[in-house]
Structure 1
């Protein structure tokens, strides 16, 4: 019986002996949640985030400015986990509002959460015509009448009093904010926070559908700071996989972690989904079959429901010739997914549109630009496999 088979037997029996031999735990139920690095994003602290120290340094430098921060990256790359872990560590949970945006999310929803955080007991109803009132030139702090001169906007004065009540530093995160169909009231609110309360309140917006993010930000009244999250670097990804499994009492070796990485890459959402299939959801009577099934499920999930939908929007940026979006990727594939900046510019020199495609693919997190080596790379195995299929016509 090999290592995996013996491990599977222990899970089937519903009990597992910890490696140090000091404890025995009941087998994990399929409804249990994963722990440590594989924990759900809204329960993580900074100790459960791996391989994002450089990104945290960038975030902290941006937080010193009162400008809004835009965090880009395709779905499942770890934006929510990273921000939740970092911000609650920096500010404390009581000083962070983390709002998972839906299409019907309104400014009133944010105000209500602010009230709960500050024990503000006044009733505040943000008028539906908030954005129209702003368009006639009234500021948040001095707005007392609407365009017709009637006193119907005292509630907005109360919003200002609410913001003034906040003590210390405070951050508001709108996660997947591109889902909001009408951003006008949020734009005015963000502008007012920037101008009147920027010394203590920070606003962060995240977006997976990155082309929609840019479209919505085109006329944004305040210039934001931008940062992009990429898949974990290879060494970090291997350690993330190994330690994540170990934290869930499922011990794997460095070699096994590297083997897993070669198949599923270092996109944190993909790794965690893979881990869920193996640790919680698999039958495990045949571990090799369970691993293969998990890999197939992860690929289908990431490719079909995440990358395909977003890359279609990227293709649409190039109306005249959507295939132009692939030119930088073609050149990387021909050169084992790595190309110097000088060589890339030389190969794209005849097409300004192709250069724009390269810039977008870097901004969106698909292509990584290494500042130290001055090279463009697609280092993640799952992304490489995805683009191989796209370039061969295997994905529509």
Structure 2
């Protein structure tokens, strides 16, 4: 069902992403490291899960959940537990085969089709055992949160990836990231100090739908659900939601329940507000000025001078270097992007729903 709000796991439940699915599958076979990039709610997790299901040899780890469950700091124990859960989630035929290799690893105990890691188990030895199979894909969803692993900003983990890259040809890694700049910084193939410096990887970007494709998606979803809706309402929703599949699905799901365009849009806004509560708290921990910059841009103060004037009127004088760092940080976290119009650099909040909620949240 196209309007099912849960992440999709089967190709037939994905709309118009055949090319992206094949690109990811081919990349996982050909490259040791694949990055899947795209803004939040564009459908990266669904595409990843479809690919892993079709290749039947993938271990899935939700790093954002791991980060949250670990209280904001990912330990070796919590990462091992995530690996353990990922291995136990493999389909039974693959699990039986994989467990034959893992049972010889110190610290691994197996009872039937259930595997357990003891505290002394070594991740490098786990990977070495997995490498004896034809091909294993290890996928880290929202991998930028791996920067919270260990004491060196995730470098201990990247050292393990580099070891596998150099020595374990049957291990492939997939990393997805919504905070694109932060994921690039973490992987650091251009950073001489990164364990992955100089390594080759493939990068696949997942883009929002065009307006035309958004209209087609909504139309097909409502036909599938047996719901009648006016064409102008579909077009209006496509304009408001910016082609982001997560919001289009939320709108369709809400419309089926309420049979009301206004209530369906309100449901999308409520979902965005709930998301923003936690995200803005995290931004405020860095600096309240991050939120002030988002407020400024949402109001149309989209140029450097206007943003600076807005900030200084509310939080005092700010050095140019500090404002530059805030704008760069928001771009790396995929909140905003920069584009040139009329010869001037202008900033824009990428997600139109988030932009609208920020305006309403601060009574603008």
Equivalent residue number for residue 273 of structure 2: 303
Equivalent residue number for residue 362 of structure 1: 331
State the 1:214 CA deviation: 8.8
State the 1:250 CA deviation: 2.7
| Structure 2 residue 49 is matched with structure 1 residue 84 | yes
Equivalent residue number for residue 107 of structure 1: 83
State the 1:313 CA deviation: 1.9
5+ unaligned residues in a row in structure 2: which ranges? Answer: 70-77, 109-116, 309-318
5+ unaligned residues in a row in structure 1: which ranges? Answer: 1-34, 135-139, 141-155
In angstroms, what is the RMSD of aligned CA positions? 4.6
Q: Deviations over 1:132-189 (max 9, x none)?
A: xx9xxxxx4xxxxxxxxxxxxxxx2x6413322124xx42212345389755785554
Equivalent residue number for residue 314 of structure 1: 283
Choose which of 185, 195, 217 in structure 2 pairs with 1:240.
217
In structure 2, C-alpha distance between the alignment counterparts of 1:55 and 1:334, rounded to whole Å: 37
Equivalent residue number for residue 294 of structure 1: 264
What's the TM-score once normalised by structure 2's chain length? 0.64
Task: Show the 5 A alignment for 1:33-72.
Answer: 35-36=1-2, 38=4, 40-45=6-11, 48-50=14-16, 64-67=30-33, 69=35, 71=37
Task: Show the 5 A alignment for 1:149-164.
Answer: 156=125, 159-164=127-132
In structure 2, C-alpha distance between the alignment counterparts of 1:117 and 1:42, rounded to whole Å: 26
Report the CA distance shift for 1:238/1:59 in structure 2 as closer, same or farther (over 3 A): farther
| Structure 2 residue 144 is matched with structure 1 residue 173 | no
Equivalent residue number for residue 205 of structure 1: 175
Residue 334 of structure 1 aligns to a residue whose secondary structure is coil
Conserved in 1, the CA contact under 8 Å of 2:25 and 2:55? Answer: no
Equivalent residue number for residue 222 of structure 1: 196
Task: Show the 5 A alignment for 1:114-133.
Answer: 116=95, 118-122=97-101, 123=103, 124=105, 125=108, 126-130=117-121
Q: Deviations over 1:290-348 (max 9, x none)?
A: x33332232112212x123113323433x4xx22554376256427xxx7xxxx46767
In structure 2, C-alpha distance between the alignment counterparts of 1:202 and 1:231, rounded to whole Å: 27
Computing the radius of gyration from Cα coordinates, the structure with the larger value is 1
Report the CA distance shift for 1:109/1:324 in structure 2 as closer, same or farther (over 3 A): closer
| Structure 2 residue 296 is matched with structure 1 residue 330 | yes
Equivalent residue number for residue 5 of structure 1: none
